[in-house]
Chain A
Amino acid sequence: MMPIIFVVPIVQLIILVHAATFEMKDIRMSVIDLDMSQSSRQMISKFQGSPFFRIAHTSFSYREAGNEMKKGNVDVILQIPLGFEKNLAKEKKSKVQIVINAINGTSAGLVSAYSLMILQDFNRALIVEWMSPATMAATRNIKVIPLYWYNPKLNYKTFMVPGILVLLVTIIGLLLSGMNIVREKEIGTIEQINVTPIRKIQFIAGKLIPFWIIALFELTFGLVVGKLLFNIPMIGNLWLIFLSAGIYIFVILGFGLLISTMTNTQQQSMLVAFFFMVIFILMSGLFTSIESMPNWAQQLDRLNPIAYFIRIMRMVMLKGSSFQDIQESLYSLVVYAFGIISIAIWRYRKVT
């Protein structure tokens, strides 16, 4: 047990934080430049110059480029049509085609966003170049500079670490408590306990408190690892993090114990725990943003304890939110903890 408790957080943090990143580097691009003009070359060099794209293939045939994509050698095709520069000069507008391999929707979205960014940049350069000096002064002022608050470099590690710490505490808490009572049922020790005058609330409390301490310890350990290895910012109050974590762990343990009282074998309990865990994690806002979910899913997320806690963790750790800022989520967790533990106590039957 002890090695698991120590090894799991380190491995999870190191592997997940590096692997579960949304940054895309080295997007392989196939270029079909039919125009062969100065402008088209300028555009291609813009792509080449960005850290995201690498020209992996050039040709003059769309079919050939398509085949390369089919083989999986390129991720995106950029086609610059004949007359690109001419149209640009004459009609002040022109077209290019970008074909993206969208097997992975998330990465396709990113490739598209990166490409648009580069095209816009190119556009701006053109405007500056072709405008007469008189009109130039007027347009030069309009420039969009994106500014990312609380995570200025859009560092995904910073963004992921709080979420992964939440996952860590959740997995440990849910599985430990979920296996617990059901394990006593399997071994038969519960039989001996049930004939004693021990009260239900005492029994459940005896199960909750040790796991609560273990889970909080895990979180502390994870925070230390996160600070030392990834230097994640901890802007907010550390005590606020632990207060929220303490409440959140009660919710998770209560959930696990409830599962444990309702199942008869560890296998059943494991399956049920995983079922809820996967749904809760995927809907937690860790990998996808909750705001982009359909409305019904957002409503359903009110029942998702992980979503509350990830929100709190990110707000406090990255943004330095105060108690007032997170109190709504915090109170929701308190209500959740009371509710779920009460149900677990009520569901635990000493008599069948």
Chain B
Amino acid sequence: MKRIVVLGGGIGGTTVANRIQRLLAREIEQGQVQLEVVDRDGIHAYQPGYLMVVFDKMRAEETRQDEARLLHRSIRLVKAEVEKIDPAGKKLRLKGGQEVPYDLLVISTGSVLHPELSPGFAEGSHSFYDLDNALRLRDALRQFSGGKIVVTVAGMPYKCPVAPLEVTFMLDDYLRARGLREKSEIHYTYPIPRVFGIETVAPVMQRLMTERGIQTHTPFNVQKIDAAAKKLQGVEGDTLDYDLLVGIPPHRGADLLGASGLGDKGNWVPTDKFTLKAEGQSGIYVLGDATNIAISKAGSTADYEAETVAQAIAAEVRGVPPSARYEGRVYCWIMTGLAQATYIKFDYLHPPHPPAPSFAHYWNKMVYNRVYWDMTARAMF
């Protein structure tokens, strides 16, 4: 019997497990293959929902479901913290000492937020990258009566690269709707010398910001945040004061990847950008934020990568050489206001060209927020 273990029950781990199940349904039913997902808490979070929670477009409880309900019934869910991966012995060691052997492993452990890596961030900055902070920011905005809002990125790489743009445009619209825009300033800082990483997209976003009176500061890399003085100091020498700071905290890969000798300095796993195999390892695939691939750390990246990984795993089980390749596909909506959006769709060879923002794209995003559980997590397509 072959044991396939998927490590992590976020979007990547869940969708790849359901895709593998579909491709190997017969082998699993006949007991030739066992498919397991190992997840810390068994709760599946729809992380794009957090931004929606900030602006009252989704309720907190709509951003989570039990992982067990999302996985096909033939997939075993193990709720446990993994301490170490032993690639030579092909097994996981769980907290408490129990071991889980595998023949094929998929690492989908995502990224971990590390606000403490940015001095003053935890005390001085709001954030929306986890549910508690999203709720806190929502409440702070309800109290906000005008002033200077600064949006900043305190570390690279970070997941959902478009999120700082989205929160900025949504804040602008939110303040207008409440009659507070004229009493407020919105400042957007970004670590590179333009407002977004992708060259074809940055000028489009810069134009929207200029039209809406959003002031931009690039390049701006956060050195420290002085929570008491409400000042944001940049590595490049600029300082911005603020009344409300919305920051993206630094990210790292999961600690266990570094501890297992699989991660680089940031705990990201060196991964082949086409095959999604962990470099220098056998029987280990990596997807989603956990890789070191220079591509957006985003749910759609994980979803597209899962197709490739599931096909590769099925091929390995059947003893044929895997031929599926990940071509760098990503699709992200970009909220450009409270009820308008655009999107970017691209791959390794074809950069995106976002269409004009519209209500229709926004509506698609809102529908997706609801159908995510069936369409993506349960891998309907």
Are both chains from one complex? no
Q: Which residues of B approach A to under 8 Å, CB–CB?
A: none
